[in-house]
Amino acid sequence: MLSSVLRSRLWKVDLSVYRGSFKAERPFSSLRRAFSSTHSSFAESLDNGVTAPERIRNIAIIAHVDHGKTTLVDQLLRQSGTVKQLTATEQLLFTPTSSSSSSSSSINTTTSDSPIDDGFITRLMDSNDLERERGITILSKCTSVFYNGNLINIVDTPGHADFGGEVERIMSMVDGVALVVDATEGPMTQTRFVLAKALSRGLRPLVVLNKADRATSRPAQVESDLFDLFATLGATDEQADYPLLYASAKQGWAQDTLPTPSTDPASSNMTMTPLFELILKHVPAPSHLDRTAPFSMLTVQIESDPYVGMLLLGRVHSGILKPGDTLWALDPEGNKVGEGKVKKIFGRRGLERVERGVAGAGEMVSVAGVKTRSGAGVNLTLVHPEGWGDEGPQALPTTPIDPPTISVFVHANDSPLAGREGTKLTSQLIRERIYKEAETNVALTVLPGPTSESLELRGRGVLHLGVLLETLRREGYELGIGSPKAVMLPDPDPTRPGGKLEPIEECTVLVKEEYAGGVVQKLTMRKGEMVSYETEEDGWVKVVMEVPARGLIGYMAGEFKNDVHGQGTINHIFKGYEPYRGAIDTGRNGALISMAAGESSGYSMAPLQARGALFIHPQTQVYPGMVIGESAKSQDLYLNPCIKKQLTNIRAAGADEKIVLASPRIMTLEEALAYMGDDEIVEVTPGSIRLRKVVLDQAKRMRMKGGKK
């Protein structure tokens, strides 16, 4: 398949402004920079109010985490003149607004921790609070730039495997992808995932080797590995003959030849122009879409607007859309689930929504006015009800989504401290909010729980579910969360032992050679099987293993960091379902469990440090059955952390001993979910994350275990 490519290929070593409030006396609009060429080009690209198809390019930026997608989009926005550079005075007057913690993927806000680089605000696409705090992209977002009279719609996608559903759902909107690969790390697990999705849809990727300016970059080896990956994934000759650029998104340049170490980007006038030109040349225009047919559009995202309500975002598949048109909403099976008249049509210019009077096939727009029934969200087909002939309107095909692999049970918080911090406490409120999230989160599956008050959430991983639960926590919800479990399937072959199939993850570990043995041993104990072991430069080792998803739950959160002493990374991606590999003994120590209710004291906690590692500070409210630490032994220990020093009017003969407490181990929500045992619950409130036993009563717990008190 790739023979022709192998023979021919030679290896080669504002229109908007930032969102914010300026305390200046002059009007806000006067701070905009005028880009005359951009305005005239935009006017020339319109055909009766609709952008000409040959002037449109729709492209997604895909990559592994931390390979530079969002930084690359920042540079494209800057160098296209879409965002303005703030003057020194404007930087002083600039007061960014705080973004909402809602799940909406709108990019209308810039959070207060936005750094400014050379007068530009960075990470413009990461508008969600959790994205800013964690330094990752969680939601796919769209933006648009104009270059030489052409409209380039850009979709920024997440790099974590847990948020792979965000990548899958936007593939139907684009005609090409830019695969960003770190010139040092090379192709990683998520690189394989996103590239496989793009190739399966017949898209022709262009490749950007980012961070090529680093001294540690190895472009020749990385390009060789990347071409091998194309071959492994079954790329066609046309797809494997991809164009390649070397780039530094941070410095803002891209070129088709590898820069020399002495090259100065500033003095050489190096910019992103080669990337813009390559997008226009390599990504096909949506000219194949028929604008004379009735209107149809597949929705891939739900947004909200304070004035017009729900907006359905997608790429127009056929026809022309105008305000006032009547539309039907069809689910993937073709059933009608909503209708309405189009109130508003919004396109994008940079980071802002811009109202449009008309939209045609190939354009990405948001439509307001269509009402759908509860539970109907993304993957809906909006169609004009007339003009389809005898068959009538049909639903457009949707992109298949990989199945969830991890599940947790959630219910309303029922601990003794319930209701003290949250404002949304009932199971009905929790149920409504989670089902609303499921309308837009395509990788999330919601099922009834074992009781009428609980729900089962299934997602791609602990991080995927943890981000959702953290969002609910910040919105004022109080939850009780059960331990994460792998989603098992029945085994169709009755002759195999176990009778079930379990999800297997392909795990890639990059670690210093001296720590590789310990990591391999831990993953082998978790039923992992080694696929490859490669020695890299400078004493690094790349290990690929296939590990059951349940074996990674408790290892990635904290144990891996200790094993590699902070010098390693671990990434995983869903491989498939395979026969059950047997029970896994992770060997977690017992718990330190409070046997009293009240406020913990340093006087009582000081001698308890010899029993194990504590999870709480002094002056923390505790209750019987709450886990306050990890025991140094395998058995659970019951302790009283609330004893206060007795004060009398008799003077002591000796001086009081100084109380010295070690820093407690404070876990994040994901760490708590990964650490917890089968008989424990994570209690999540807006102000606290606590670990507790399912059964709080000690005597009842002993009887259930069949032991003695």
Q: pLDDT value at position 656?
A: 62
C-beta of residue 348 within 8 angstroms of C-beta of residue 364: yes
* CB proximity list for 240: less than 8 A, separation 6 or greater: 2, 5, 227, 230, 231
In this structure, of 274-288, 378-392, 522-536, 695-709, the range with the lowest mean pLDDT score is 695-709
C-alpha distances out from residue 255 to 13, 94, 217, 349, 646, Å: 13, 34, 16, 26, 74
**3-state SS, one letter per residue, for 600-656:** CCHHHHHHHHHHEEECCCCCCEECCCEEEEEECCCCCEEECCCCCCCCCCCCCCCCC
Q: Is the pLDDT confidence value at 133 over 90? A: no
C-beta of residue 173 within 8 angstroms of C-beta of residue 78: no
Predicted structure pTM score: 0.80
Q: Mean pLDDT across the chain, nearest whole number?
A: 83
- Measured in degrees and rounded to the nearest 5, phi and psi for residue 73 equal -65, -40
Sign of CA dihedral 539, 544, 548, 552: positive
Check residues 307 and 652 and name the one with the higher pLDDT: 307
- The residue assigned the tokens 């170490």 is 261
SS3 (DSSP) at 287: coil
- Report all structural domains of the chain as residue ranges with CATH numbers, in order of start: 46-85+114-282 (3.40.50.300), 296-383 (2.40.30.10), 500-579 (3.30.70.240), 591-648+656-707 (2.40.50.250)
Most confident region among 291-305, 529-543, 682-696 by mean pLDDT:
682-696
Could you give the CA distance from residue 504 to residue 546 in angstroms, rounded to a whole number? 6
pLDDT in tens, 566-581: 888 888 888 899 999 8
Expressed in percent and rounded to 5, the helix, strand and coil fractions of the chain are 25, 30, 45
In this structure, of 367-376, 606-615, 668-677, the range with the lowest mean pLDDT score is 367-376
pLDDT in tens, 615-661: 999 999 999 999 999 999 988 999 999 998 877 777 665 556 778 88
Q: Is the pLDDT confidence value at 35 over 70? A: no
Which of 463, 691, 420, 435 has the alpha carbon at shortest distance from 570?
463
Most confident region among 262-271, 490-499, 649-658 by mean pLDDT:
490-499
Cα 290–chain centre separation: 34
Q: pLDDT value at position 653?
A: 58
Q: Which helix (H) or strand (E) holds 552?
A: helix 549-553
Q: pLDDT value at position 408?
A: 95
DSSP string, 108-152: ----TT--EETTEES-TT--SHHHHHHTS--S-EEEEEEETTEEE
Q: Is the pLDDT confidence value at 27 over 50? A: no
Q: pLDDT value at position 100?
A: 39
Which of 401, 351, 309 has the alpha carbon at shortest distance from 84?
351
Q: Is the pLDDT confidence value at 21 over 60? A: no
Which of 292, 282, 254, 258 has the alpha carbon at shortest distance from 270?
254
Q: Is the pLDDT confidence value at 358 over 60? A: yes
